[in-house]
Structure 1
Amino acid sequence: MYSSLKNSLTRFIPKKLLFRIEPILRKCFAIFKRGNHHTCVICDFKASDWVHLQNHDLLCPNCGSLARDRRLWKILKEQYIKTNIDILDFSPSRSLFRKWKKEQNVNHIASDLSGDFIADVTYDITQIPEKENTFDLIICYHILEHVIEDVKAMSELHRILKPNGTIIIQTPFKEGEIYEDYSITSEADRLLHFGQEDHVRIYSVEGLKKRLESVGFTVNIQQFQKDNYLGFSDKEITFFATK
């Protein structure tokens, strides 16, 4: 039902208008999902159940957050968010963007080139128009697998990160080596080879670690476990790269 409703709305309502009315539509939908079996750490909604997506992800019926959004927000709140912190966030989910804008005394800049997210600026991650040592924290969730010149992007992220700053990174992963082939250019072939129409590679954990280290980062890799009550995925891998 959820997927059918979403497809109908996106087919007939312009994207910018849909972004504006999305919170209202979700709150109307969430009325039928109220309960005490789950809690969203982003919007504090208590649900009878998550919305189960076709890819097995769990979506909050009230704010639309995915499992990775909720885990990320918990990490940020517990370990990173502090007064006057300077943050650059690449293509945050709309649920997280709205949450950020309610945070007091943080300097949060959201960037997006795709048009699928709400953002403050449109930075090319391989040519970021910011000075060196500008940001305490950079969030780069599910971005690098879209970027052909990923090492150049990593170098830029290292350049603009403050000393002792952190960049939090996540991508899809595979076993073995990084798989990339730039001769694969059609959406159909990229979907077949990389799992999504606009992906250009699939990283391995060790392969991504080596590329980040090659531009100067120190990398800490953490794996998190499932929490059904909070809607967190099992064996979720996140990179914490420091300068």
Structure 2
Amino acid sequence: MYNNFKRVVHLMVPKRIIFKVEPYLRKVFSITKKGHNHCCTICNFKAKQWILLPNQDLLCPNCGSISRDRRLYLIVKKEFFTPSCNVLDFSPSRSLFRQFKREKNIQYTASDLSGNFIADAKYDITSINKESNSFDLILCYHILEHIIDDEKGMSELYRVLKPNGTLLIQTPFKEGKIYEDYTLTSETDRLKHFGQEDHVRIYSVAGLKERLQNVGFKIEILQFQKEVYFGFSDNETILKATK
């Protein structure tokens, strides 16, 4: 029912209106989902059940976060939020954007070039319009698989990150080597080969690590397991890159 309702709303309501009214609609919807079986790390909503999405991910009925959002917020809040921390976030989920904006001790900037996300700026990741050494923390989740010149994007991320700063990065992953083929330009071909119409490659963990190291980053691979109460997915991988 949830997925059908969402589809109808997106067909009938302009995106800018959806962004404004979504929190209120979710508040109403979540009333029937209250319980004690689960807890969202972002909005602290206690739920009797998550919303199961078609891709098997678990959605918070109150704020709309998915599993990777909830884990990322917990990691960032515990390890990286320090007074005056300057954060750059590329195309964040709406649940994360709203929560990060509530944090009083950080300077948070969200960027989105596509217009599909709420954002403060429109930075091209291959040519970021900021001075070098600007950010303490950069969040780059499910972005680089969209970027043809990904190594230039990585170089820019390295440039604008402060010395000793941290980049948290995640993409879809596969075993073996990176798979990319720039002759595949149609949405049909990209969906078939890369899993989504606007993806241009599938990284392996080792391949992404190597490319990040080539531009100067030091890399730590973080592995996480399933956690039912918070709705965290199993075998989740995050690359922690430091300058």
Describe how 1:166-177 pairs up with structure 2 within 5 A.
166-177=166-177
Question: Partner amino acid for 1:97?
Answer: F
Aligned to 1:159: 159
Aligned to 1:237: 237
TM-score, normalised on structure 1? Answer: 0.99
Describe how 1:26-175 pairs up with structure 2 within 5 A.
26-175=26-175
Residue-by-residue CA offset, 1:119-156 (whole Å, 9 max, x unaligned): 00000000001111110000000000000000000000
Whether the aligned pair in 1 keeps the contact of 2:90 and 2:139 (CA below 8 Å) is: yes
Name the CA distance, whole Å, in 2 between partners of 1:92 and 1:162.
21
Question: Partner amino acid for 2:183?
Answer: S
Deviation at 1:30, TM superposition (A): 0.5
Whether the aligned pair in 1 keeps the contact of 2:81 and 2:105 (CA below 8 Å) is: no
Name the CA distance, whole Å, in 1 between partners of 2:222 and 2:101.
28
Name the CA distance, whole Å, in 2 between partners of 1:229 and 1:65.
14
TM-score, normalised on structure 2? Answer: 0.99
The answer for unaligned runs of 5 or more in structure 1 is none
Partner SS for 2:116: coil
Name the CA distance, whole Å, in 2 between partners of 1:177 and 1:101.
38
Residue-by-residue CA offset, 1:101-134 (whole Å, 9 max, x unaligned): 1100211000001111100000000000111111
Partner SS for 1:190: helix
Name the CA distance, whole Å, in 1 between partners of 2:158 and 2:22.
35
Deviation at 1:234, TM superposition (A): 0.4
Name the CA distance, whole Å, in 1 between partners of 2:105 and 2:33.
33
Aligned to 1:204: 204
Residue-by-residue CA offset, 1:190-228 (whole Å, 9 max, x unaligned): 111101111100000000000000000000001001001
Partner SS for 2:102: coil
Name the CA distance, whole Å, in 2 between partners of 1:225 and 1:105.
30
Name the CA distance, whole Å, in 2 between partners of 1:173 and 1:125.
20
Question: Partner amino acid for 2:177?
Answer: E
Runs of 4+ in structure 1 deviating by more than 2 angstroms, as ranges, are: none
Residue-by-residue CA offset, 1:66-112 (whole Å, 9 max, x unaligned): 00000000000110011100111000100000001110021100000
Name the CA distance, whole Å, in 2 between partners of 1:3 and 1:79.
34
Name the CA distance, whole Å, in 2 between partners of 1:185 and 1:211.
23
Q: How many residues align?
A: 243
Question: Partner amino acid for 1:230?
Answer: F
